[in-house]
Structure formats: C-alpha cells, structure tokens
Structure 1
Amino acid sequence: MGKLEDEHDQLSHNISDGTPSKGTIVVDAIHGDEARDATNAEHNMTLWEGCKMYPAAIAWSMFFSLGTTMTAFDPQLLGNLYATPAFQRDFGYLYKGDYIISAPWQTGLGMGNPLGQVIGAFFAAYPLDWYGRKKTFGGCVALTGAFIFIQFFARSLPVLLAGELLGGLVLGAFPIIAPTYASEVCPIALRGVLTSYVNLSFVMGQLIANGVIAGTSKLDTHWAYSAPFAAQWFWVAVILIGLPFAPESPWWLARKGRIEDAKKALTKLASKGVDIKPTLAIIIETGRLEYELETGSSYMDTFKKINRRRTEISVGVYTIQNLSGIYMLGYTALFYQIAGLSVQKSFDMSVAFLAAGFVGVLFSWILLVRFGRRRIYNTGLAMMAIIMILVGILDCLPNYTNRPGIAWAQASLLMLWNFCFDFSIGPVCYVLISEVSATTVRAKTIAVATAVQAVFAIVTSVAIPYIINPDQANLRGKIGFFFGGLSALSLVWSWFRLPETKGRTYEELDIMFSRGVRTREFKKYRIE
C-alpha cells in the first residue's frame, strides 16, 4: 500500500500543478490498468448492486439535496401567498371589492429567487473550489437561516422584498451544490437516480409549501404567512446538525492532492468490504486526462473549445425548463382562482398538481434505468408542448366563464403537464448537467447554466403577473400557446444537440467530447 499511496500522491501532484515528473509514465500505466478494471466493473454494476455497495452515498446525496428543497419552498410559498386572504389584506389593495397584490409588487418579490440564482450561482462556484462542497453547503445554510428572520418579521412589502432578495442570493447556490455533490459520490449505476433526485427535492419543496399554505391560508392573522416563513428553519436545523458527519467529495479532495482524505471519504461512502482503490484510480486517471486535455478550472475555461459544446448542452437543458413554462408552478393557486375555482379548491388543486409531479419523478427513475437520457428528455418535451397548446385552445372556447368544466379540464391538463415535466426534462436536466460537464469545471459549468436559466426566470417572473392578473392582460389559459410554442422550438434544439450519456464514465465522456463525436453517434460509440 505504501508504494500505491506514493504513486497516487505523485500523480496528484502532477495534475494539480502541472510539473513534470520522472515517474509519470509508469504511474499512468499502473493506474490506467486499475481505472480500466474499475470502469468495466461500473459498467456491469446493476442498480441494486450499487444500492447495496454504496448506501451511505445515497443517503448523503439525498442529504445535500435538502438545500434544493429550501430553494423550491420559498418561491412556491410566495406565489401561493398572493392567493391567501390574510396576506392579500395586509399587503395588497382593493380592486373591484377584493384585495389583490399588484402586478409590479408581484414582479419585484418574484425577482428574489431568480435574481439571487444569477448572482449566487456565480459566486458559489468559488467557495466550492476553494473550501469544498461540505463547508460551502454549511455556510450557505447558516446564511439562509439568518435571512429567514427578515421574511418572518416583515410587515410591509419593502421589508419582505429585502428578505426575498437577500435570501435568494444564498438559495441560488443550492441547485449547484446538490448535483455537483451527487455526481461525485456515486458509481455510474446510481448516478442517474441520485442526480435526478435533485428535481424530486424541488418537487418536495413545492409540495410542502403548498401543503403548509393550504393549512395556514385559513387563518385570519399574520400567522397565515408568518408560520410558513418560519417553517423554513426546520431544514436549517436538520442540515446543520447532520453536516459535521458528512464526507467531503472524493473528487474535490483528489484534485486538491489530498489522496488519503479522498480514500477515507470513499470508505465512508461505500459499504464495509468494498475495495475503493479502483474507484480512486478512476478519479486520478480522469483528472490526469482532463489535465492533458487542458479543460481548465476557471469560468473562462467553460467557454474554451474543449468545453464549449458541453457548456452549451448544460445551458440548453436547464434553460428549457423555463421556456417550457415551469415558472407557472409558483402561480398555480392564483391561476386556478382566475380560471374560476374557489380559494380552497385552488389550493387543493395546487397540491394535487405537485403530487402528480412527485409521482412523475419516481417514474423517471424507472425510465432512467431502462432508457437513455435523450429519449426520455425529447419524448417528455414533445408531450408537454402538445398539452400546453391544448390548454390554450380550451381557453378560446365560447362562454368560458359560465362553463366551469373548462376550468377543471385545464386544471387536469396542467397536472398531466407537470407529470410529464417531472419524468422528463425536470430530473433529466440535473443528470445531464452533471454528466456532460468536465469534472474540473463542473461547479462552474453548472453555475453558468444556473445563471442563464435564472435570467430567463427573471423575464418570466416579470411577464407572468402581467399576463394572468385580472387587472392586467388577464389572458388566463391562453398563456399555454406561448409556452407550447417555446417548447416546440426547444424540442428542435434538443433533437439535434442533445447526446446520449447513459452508462458512460466521466473519462469516457471526456474522450468522446474531445473527439467531437456527433450527437447521434454517442449512444453506440465504442472507445478502444
């Protein structure tokens, strides 16, 4: 073991600072053989075998995804507060006998999360590289807990806006931390399920927010909105208590030259008796290859020729989530009220809407094991485009306001749309951004993708209140034409640009992208 550790240390030194060494060729040959053996073992590993061998990796990956649950909870909570009577009365104004929150204030408050993602995404990548996934996660959670105080004690729209903007800066980091960590602690057999679990965390955050609001919205005091804000402290407490026991990412540790710590982390992630040396060899060999390919580690490197295509795919699959209409999730209760449903039925349908998404993510795990990422993504996106257009067509039927059956039909179609989203482009997005990015710039590639999609989220957060509010355009379900058309255009891009990454190690993907393998050839491409 002494010789092996010395070789690991030497190779790690070569990767981290680029200085040549006499032993480099010998080391590469030794670990190249180990990496090939480990690659073959991972290709042959089944999902069940992966679960038995790496139960701790599954648990800690799910733990780090709690941050995305908080990220989803906040905007979903805010969107449903617009339909809460006590919140409307305390923060809104009278319009035709009812209290409503004006479209400009809805726009401003809705900016907190996406604007925070733009800024927070870029800044989060630096501490992720400097201090690791674990310390960055803990720091962001602690800051989130502090900013919740502003939301909890807010009694005016300006104060609430300040809380949303400050909170959004930190919440924007969690969608980067979770898929980065999940992709670095598990074998190929588990990678699709664990990275897609990030999307399930989003759905759970939205579902819990709707459930909490459905209960507190009946209150006639400030607790109708203060209690939901306070509920966010639950995750802060759970994460800060459990985080000291979490292992750091072995990929990050290896890149920092901390090979012994990487071995300890791999040992904590695997079951007792699992030989972690081959996995460590894959990590080192992939790092060596990416150093030779000059993938780099800065934001500018994500746009170098070697990484440009990978960054485009990451940005594309993430941005399409917004182009498809996912930002409407935060306005489902309000949308249903405008469509003609009662306050209580609107909240009930919102919970059912997200429950359909929850089932959709679980269904995606079955699909990810059996089918490729590309097929699932494109099939789901096509179905979503059709459903959105149908929602728009229903809204054009005559005598709409006196036919409640149309509103229920639209509500049902939106539930089906959310199911399709959450078995396809929702979870598969997080799988793809984790798989197509080079390991040395993974956090920064995901940050770029997060920031770009957040810019589109800002646009939709500005537009949607003006599109659906009764004191503005009041287009109701006709918004389906808009998002249905954008989904159709997105499908054209994904058909020509989205490669199949299922079953590939990070080293294999590095090689395929460096060789410029065509999109259609990814699935059957063989590496000698």
Structure 2
Amino acid sequence: MNNLNDDANYIDDLKGLDIIVQAKRATETEHALTTIDAIKTYPMAIFWASVFATSLVMVGYDSGILYSFYALPAFVQKYGTDYGGTVGWEVSAKWQNVLGMGTPVGQFLGAFTASYPMERWGRKKVFAGSLFFTTSFIFLQMFASNVQVLAAGEFLAGIMYGTYVVLAPTYASEVCPVALRGIMNAGINLAYVIGQFIASGVGKGVSEWTDQWAYRLPFAIQWIWIPLLAICLWFAPESPWWLVRQGRSDEALVSLRRLVRSSSNVDVTATLAMIESTTAHEAEVEKSTTFAECFRGTNRIRTEVALMVQTWQVITGISLIGYAVYFFELAGLPIAASFDMGVGNTAIGFVATCCSWFFMSFAGRRNIFMIGVGIMALSQILIGILDCLPNYTTRPGLAWAQAGLLDLLTFVFQGTVGPINFVIFAEIGSTRLRSQTCALATSTGSIFQIIMTVAVPYMLNASSANWRGKTGFFFGGISLVATAWCWFRLPETKGRTYEELDVMFETGIPVREFEKYKFEAVEGQEANDVV
C-alpha cells in the first residue's frame, strides 16, 4: 500500500512540476508580448472587455446630465425654488446634495452587493441582472413627478452603476494579457468620459427648450445602450480566472481560446497553467476570500493603494470638473457660452484619456498618477488666485482665464489620475481578492464622493458660500497632499504578472523599488527548488 501511495504522490509531483514549467513559459510569453502584438493576438479579449466597459458610458452620462440640469431653466423651474432678487430660480444646495448623493450612495451599496454575487454566479450573470434593473430605474428618473421621486430614481440607478464600476475593471483584468491590461482599464475611464461628452451634447441640445421634455428626453436616452449590451453579453465568454476558482478548468480553457485570434500561436494550455498556479499559490497564502482578508498580511498594503488612488481620484478636482457648466455660469459666462464650454471641456477629456495610453507606455502608472495630481494642484491654486484679483466681477477676462485653467485641469485629470486610477485598483489586489478589492475601492470612492457632493454646492452656490473660483484653493491643497502620498506609498505595477506582484508584496520589497526590481534571482531560486 505504501508503494502505491508513493507512486501516486510521485505522479502528483510530476503534474505539479508540469504546471510550474508551463506557467513559467506563459509568464515569459506575456513579458515578450508587445502592445501591437497583443492587439493582433487578442482582438476578442479587447472586444469583450470593451463591452463590459461600455456600461460606464451610462454612469458618466447620468452624472454628467444631472449636473448640467442645474443650469437648465426648464429643470430648475420644475424641481427648484424661486429665491427672487438677483438669485432667481435655483435648485437649492440641499436638494443638489440629495440628488447628487443618489449615485455615490447607490454606488457604495452596489459595489458591496456586487462582490459576493460576482464570486457566486460569475461576471456575466451579475452584469445581466444589473442591465435588467437599470432599465426599470431609468423609467423612474424619466417620469419623476417631484424632486423626491427623482432622488429615489438616482439612488436606485446608482446601485446598478456601482455594480458596473466593479464589474468592468475586474473583467478586463481577467481576460486581457499584461500588455493590454493598462490600456483596457484606462479605456474604462474613456467610456465614462464618452458618457459625460454625450451628456454635455444632449444638455446643449435641450438648453433652450422650455417644456418637460428638456429634462425627460435626456433621461430616456439612457435606454439606448441597454439592448446593445444585452445582446453582446449573451455571446461573451466568462472570466477564465473565475472559472478556475470554481474548479471548472475545462470551461476556462474554452474561454481562453475564445479570447485569442484563431490563427495565433498562443499556448492557451500554458496560460491556463499560469492561472492555476497563481490561484493555488494565493489559496495557500490567503485564508479566505472575504473582505476581512483584504486587511491581513501584505494584502493591507495592496488594499491601501487601491483605496487611496480611488480616494484621490474623487477629491483632487473631479468634483469641480463635474460642475463645469454650472461653474462657468457662476463665473459670469452667458448660459449658451457655459454649455458650449461644457461640451468643449468633455471633448478635452476624451482626447486626454486617449493620450493616457501613450503616457503609460513611457512612464508607467506611478509617475503618471503622481505628476498628474501635482499639476492639478498648481492649476487649481491658480484658479483660486484669479478669483481673488480686484474687481473680479467686472473683468470678464478673468472668468475666461479660469475657464481655460479648468480645461487644463480636465486634460490633466483625464490624461492621468482619471484613467490610471482604474488601472491601479483593478490590478493591485490578488486575483482571489480582486472583486473584493475593487468593491472596497469603489465604495471608498463613493463615500468621499458623497462628502464632495454635500460640500461643493455650498462652496459654489450664490445663495450659500459663493466661493466661485476660490474653491480651487481647497482642491489644490488636497492635491498637494496626494502628491506626497504617491511619492512614499504608490508602487509601480506596469509589466508585472499577477504572480510576480504576489511575490513582490510577500517578500516586502519597498514600493518605491518596484519599478527597478529584477526577477531573475527569484525565478532561478524557484526553478532550483522545483528541480
């Protein structure tokens, strides 16, 4: 009997050795793959990741259209209050807070509620359920009879939007090779910007309408994406990483084959071995896949990074960008010019996000994020300084100068912090804890978005603090703190496989040395141990 057991153990060792050898081969292949080669080899991975990312168009559109409504006379007269005098009709800061908090509060809950179903039923089924409920909640937004019902619609829709924010980067990180991981996750921010751009165009188109369809039609437009996404989702492959964790390796192999070009020479069996090897290693190190595990051992550092990059993304200036049209109007620009500037502002964001793909190719994640928040600090402080100049209200040139700086702020944010944030928090966590890490990051961002949603209207509104451009001092100071944090705490993850990131965190390599760390010695030691 002992001999039989010894033979069985020997066979298991051989299988384990084969998996390690194939996993190493797959790792070497991924490192050798250039971006152009990856695009040619994995066209379907790009397509399916883009399908999931398109859901963020709805998220960007919803937030963008709501903020632009505050400068829309028909909307303000339906849901606002007539303050008389020089203020006139205005949606009060209180209700701007309530409406604005609908999406972030909903996202907070949606992110947490999404992580368990994603691990229990997979990415596709959760996505399908979210699309179904989103359809219903848009109806509630469109036909809201009063501001209270509209706030309920924003909250319920926000729960679904929180699900999309977790789903899209998680799925992209699990179907794309290392060479495409950053580009596709940065593309998630592009989808968000596209949504804002469409919202700006729609807002401009209805800015002179005086009837109820000035605000109801923009809500109805959200239905356009749902049937298109549902059809594509039916044919999409499930995440191979999730399938492996469910013990469905045969199905994972089928998914991997569907992600590569049929005529390519990619050894998907080796890729599967790499996924199995990484999953097995993390199963030994991590006790569970609960949220608590994200704060144990080296996962604490990884979770900190995910939470902080999402926090900085929210509180270093995006709130000011979100109120661009309203800000331009308060600065003294005519309503038509304010909407024109708003459209131009989102167009700049679109171009900047595309530029981020090239920035990442040269500078990686850490440098781009750190430089981005540094430049944002300077531009926002300048906006505040301009607002303090004498006779500001009688010098329209100062308002145009602030508008130009806000456009610069938009370009910097959407070219650095905005897209890189999605890249970092989607890949920084371990594969077994990815959905939990993304959920925690999204929820943390939602908490700070709620805070900003409460604070910013009181900062800007003429009936409240009336800070106008002085708000730049507030966000500029936060951006300076963010720059310092990046220098000391943000690691470089560009070009690293998930298994390599596991080893680097577990061996305690200082985060500022991640970029220059060489793996030859570690890999050689592992190979010697196996032999």
TM value normalised by structure 1: 0.95
Does structure 1 residue 457 correspond to structure 2 residue 449? yes
Does structure 1 residue 365 correspond to structure 2 residue 353? no
Which residue of structure 1 aligns with residue 137 of structure 2?
147
- For the Cα contact (< 8 Å) 1:214–1:348, is it kept in 2? yes
Does structure 1 residue 402 correspond to structure 2 residue 394? yes
Measure, in 1, the Cα distance between the counterparts of 2:61 and 2:192: 8
Does structure 1 residue 190 correspond to structure 2 residue 180? yes
- For the Cα contact (< 8 Å) 2:317–2:376, is it kept in 1? no
Which residue of structure 1 aligns with residue 368 of structure 2?
376
Q: Deviations over 1:490-522 (max 9, x none)?
A: 111111000111110000000101111101211
Shift of 1:28: 2.2
Q: Return the match for 1:64 from 48, 52, 57.
A: 52
Q: Structure 2, unaligned stretches of length 5 or more?
A: 1-7, 523-531
- For the Cα contact (< 8 Å) 1:57–1:186, is it kept in 2? yes
CA change 1:26–1:477 in 2 (3 A) is same
Does structure 1 residue 269 correspond to structure 2 residue 259? yes
- Worse overlay, 288-297 or 318-327: 288-297
AA in 2 matched with 1:49: D
SS of the equivalent of 1:305 reads coil
Aligned-CA RMSD value = 1.3
AA in 2 matched with 1:259: S
Which residue of structure 1 aligns with residue 3 of structure 2?
none
Does structure 1 residue 132 correspond to structure 2 residue 122? yes
Measure, in 1, the Cα distance between the counterparts of 2:10 and 2:205: 68
CA change 1:23–1:159 in 2 (3 A) is farther
SS of the equivalent of 1:232 reads helix
Please list, as runs of the form range in 1=range in 2, the aligned pairs for 1:482-497 lying within 5 A after superposition. 482-497=474-489
Please list, as runs of the form range in 1=range in 2, the aligned pairs for 1:60-209 lying within 5 A after superposition. 60-97=48-85, 98-209=88-199
Shift of 1:33: 0.7
Which residue of structure 1 aligns with residue 335 of structure 2?
343
Q: Return the match for 2:29 from 41, 45, 48.
A: 41
Does structure 1 residue 28 correspond to structure 2 residue 16? yes
SS of the equivalent of 2:323 reads helix
SS of the equivalent of 1:401 reads helix
Which residue of structure 1 aligns with residue 427 of structure 2?
435
Q: Deviations over 1:247-270 (max 9, x none)?
A: 111110111111111111111111
Q: Deviations over 1:61-88 (max 9, x none)?
A: 1110111111111111111111101111
Q: Return the match for 1:499 from 477, 491, 496.
A: 491
SS of the equivalent of 1:499 reads coil
Shift of 1:21: 7.3
Q: Deviations over 1:398-440 (max 9, x none)?
A: 1001111111110110111111111111111111112210000
TM value normalised by structure 2: 0.94
Does structure 1 residue 312 correspond to structure 2 residue 304? yes
Q: Return the match for 1:210 from 181, 188, 200.
A: 200
Shift of 1:221: 0.7
Measure, in 2, the Cα distance between the counterparts of 1:96 and 1:414: 30
Which residue of structure 2 aligns with residue 229 of structure 1?
219
AA in 1 matched with 2:35: L
Shift of 1:240: 1.2
Q: Deviations over 1:317-358 (max 9, x none)?
A: 010011202122331111110000111111110111111111
AA in 1 matched with 2:97: T
Q: Deviations over 1:179-215 (max 9, x none)?
A: 0000000111111100111111111111111111110
Measure, in 1, the Cα distance between the counterparts of 2:321 and 2:48: 28
Measure, in 2, the Cα distance between the counterparts of 1:76 and 1:505: 36
Measure, in 2, the Cα distance between the counterparts of 1:322 and 1:430: 12
- Worse overlay, 274-283 or 261-270: 274-283
AA in 2 matched with 1:81: F
Which residue of structure 1 aligns with residue 418 of structure 2?
426
CA change 1:329–1:24 in 2 (3 A) is farther
Does structure 1 residue 511 correspond to structure 2 residue 503? yes
Measure, in 2, the Cα distance between the counterparts of 1:481 and 1:349: 22
- For the Cα contact (< 8 Å) 2:311–2:444, is it kept in 1? yes
CA change 1:201–1:295 in 2 (3 A) is farther
Which residue of structure 2 aligns with residue 17 of structure 1?
none
Does structure 1 residue 475 correspond to structure 2 residue 473? no
Q: Return the match for 1:300 from 280, 286, 292.
A: 292
- Worse overlay, 291-300 or 191-200: 291-300
Measure, in 2, the Cα distance between the counterparts of 1:28 and 1:483: 53
CA change 1:295–1:351 in 2 (3 A) is farther
Measure, in 1, the Cα distance between the counterparts of 2:294 and 2:474: 32
- For the Cα contact (< 8 Å) 2:460–2:467, is it kept in 1? yes
SS of the equivalent of 1:34 reads helix
SS of the equivalent of 1:191 reads helix
Q: Return the match for 1:50 from 28, 38, 46.
A: 38
- For the Cα contact (< 8 Å) 1:45–1:189, is it kept in 2? yes
Q: Structure 1, unaligned stretches of length 5 or more?
A: 1-19
Q: Return the match for 2:324 from 332, 337, 345.
A: 332
Pairs aligned (count): 509
SS of the equivalent of 2:89 reads strand
Which residue of structure 2 aligns with residue 16 of structure 1?
none
Does structure 1 residue 249 correspond to structure 2 residue 239? yes
- For the Cα contact (< 8 Å) 1:113–1:168, is it kept in 2? yes
Shift of 1:23: 5.0
- For the Cα contact (< 8 Å) 1:295–1:306, is it kept in 2? no
- For the Cα contact (< 8 Å) 2:371–2:483, is it kept in 1? no
Measure, in 1, the Cα distance between the counterparts of 2:146 and 2:402: 34
SS of the equivalent of 1:374 reads helix
AA in 2 matched with 1:76: G
Measure, in 1, the Cα distance between the counterparts of 2:162 and 2:10: 45
SS of the equivalent of 1:500 reads coil
AA in 2 matched with 1:115: V
SS of the equivalent of 2:465 reads coil
SS of the equivalent of 2:298 reads helix
Query: Percent identity at matched positions?
Result: 46
Measure, in 1, the Cα distance between the counterparts of 2:140 and 2:494: 44
Q: Deviations over 1:440-481 (max 9, x none)?
A: 010001101111111111011001111100101000000000
Which residue of structure 1 aligns with residue 516 of structure 2?
524
Which residue of structure 1 aligns with residue 526 of structure 2?
none
SS of the equivalent of 1:231 reads helix
Measure, in 1, the Cα distance between the counterparts of 2:28 and 2:323: 47
CA change 1:21–1:154 in 2 (3 A) is farther
Measure, in 2, the Cα distance between the counterparts of 1:22 and 1:253: 27
CA change 1:300–1:406 in 2 (3 A) is same
